[in-house]
Amino acid sequence: MEEMYTFGLEIHIVGVLVLMGVVMFNILMLALSKHIIVYAKRMRIVMPISASLIFLVLFTGSIMMAAKHLHFTYMNIVMIGVLLMMISLEIKRYRTLKYKTDIQSDNALEEYKYKAFRYLGMEMLILILLSIWMMS
């Protein structure tokens, strides 16, 4: 049983690291984008990957909590809250592009970049701070 928990913890940690890499890739992709339409098409490919990784981390965390008989600690509650914040930030970022950005305007990409960099920066900061806290 302990081996299963250790393996689940390793998968959980790798999932978080890959999620950090995808957030960094999103930041890089946004920084290098020149046209909003091309960026939107690329984002439709990357967005399901981000969502899948968030849910992978959520799923492995819930499996590990079940292995420990649903024993809630303040660390577990903080991790659940962080994942819910990440889900809401991803939804806000996607809605900003889809509904609140006028793609036909000349400065549409700059308007979107301002908001998207804030959301992605918050996601990355949250992931880094939580990872540092959990590793110490």
> Where do the domains of the chain lie?
2-131
Q: Give the pLDDT of residue 126.
A: 95
**Residue 118 CB coordination number (10 Å):** 14
The predicted model scores a pTM of 0.89
* Size of the chain, expressed as the number of residues it contains: 136
Alpha-carbon distance of 8 to 5, in angstroms, equals 5
Is residue 9 within 8 Å of 64, Cβ to Cβ? yes
Q: Give the pLDDT of residue 54.
A: 92
**Residue 36 CB coordination number (10 Å):** 21
Identify the CATH assignment for 2-131 out of 1.10.3470, 1.20.120, 1.10.10, 1.10.600.
Answer: 1.20.120
Q: Give the pLDDT of residue 62.
A: 86
Runs of H (alpha helix) within 33-73: 36-67
User: Tens digits of per-residue pLDDT, 12-32?
Assistant: 899 999 999 999 999 999 999
- Crossing angle of the two packed helices 74-95 and 108-135, in degrees rounded to 10: 170
Token pair 């939580």 is at which residue? 130
Runs of H (alpha helix) within the chain: 2-32, 36-67, 74-95, 108-135
